[in-house]
Amino acid sequence: MIEHKKGILVIVSGFSGAGKGTVVHAMMDKFPGRYKLSVSATTREPRSGEKDGVNYFFVTREKFEKMIADGELLEYAEYVGNYYGTPRRFVEEQMDAGYNVILEIEQQGAFKVKKAFPDAVLIFLTPPSIDELERRLRGRHSESEETIQKRLAQAAIEAENIELYDYLVINDDIDGCAVSMDRLIESVQKKTRYNQERIDDLRAHLQHYRKDN
Ligand code: 5GP
């Protein structure tokens, strides 16, 4: 029986403040070896505690534009005045090695990736309420009121496209949410269309039992 299987591309989007980063990191901790997280490049300034190469690759606009020109990005988008993009090589290598790769990206990028990889699974993560969203954004204490208002305005626009995602997951409790995301991905992996190699293998082994050839 063949064991090699290509990983699934999992795209997690959600309003800024939905807790995507926290949930995704909880998934990495709880299920070691099942997921690889893509680290994006961005032109935004690091928040306190963020590390280059861990949270993001923090780059200048010039460097980002060179990455675009050199075809190094799988997708990119401009969000609240900054560029964000997914380095292509890491994603392709890890999927080929059989890992499920998680992209934590905003909508424009999510839909671009879905076009290039129709099998990608699109998950939209939301806090339990908009009051809670505002509380989380203000609780960060790292952003000005103007930026918070911009992020809420952006959320209002993003809410228009939620139906284009495959799944809606509510982040009311980090650990519970991480487990339900993992279960969701596990059941997606059982879809026949993700298991063509195995199906072909079963057929090949049964071929000589056929009475009709
Ligand atoms: P933040 O500044 O809060 O870290 O991220 C702002 C938004 O950019 C979030 O919605 C985040 O998911 C998104 N984002 C992060 N990396 C990427 C990326 O590589 N591509 C795209 N399209 N969006 C990204």
> Cα dist. 150→105, 156, 160 in Å?
17, 10, 16
10 and 100 in contact (C-beta within 8 Å)? yes
CA of 78 to the centre of ligand 1 (A): 9
Is residue 5 scored above 60 in pLDDT? yes
pLDDT, the chain, mean: 92
Which among 40, 75, 107 is the best mutation to test ligand 1's pocket, defined by most ligand atoms within 8 Å of the CB? 40
Q: What is the pLDDT of residues 167-196, one digit of tens each?
A: 999 999 999 999 999 999 999 999 998 898
Closest CA to ligand 1's atom 9: 106
pLDDT, mean of residues 15-28 = 92
Q: DSSP string spanning 60-126? A: -HHHHHHHHHTT-EEEEEEETTEEEEEEHHHHHHHHHTT-EEEEE--HHHHHHHHHH-TTPEEEEEE
CA of 84 to the centre of ligand 1 (A): 6
- Residue 173 has phi, psi (to 5 degrees) of -145, 125
Spatial CA neighbour of 137 closest among 124, 122, 125, 148:
148
pTM of the complete model: 0.89
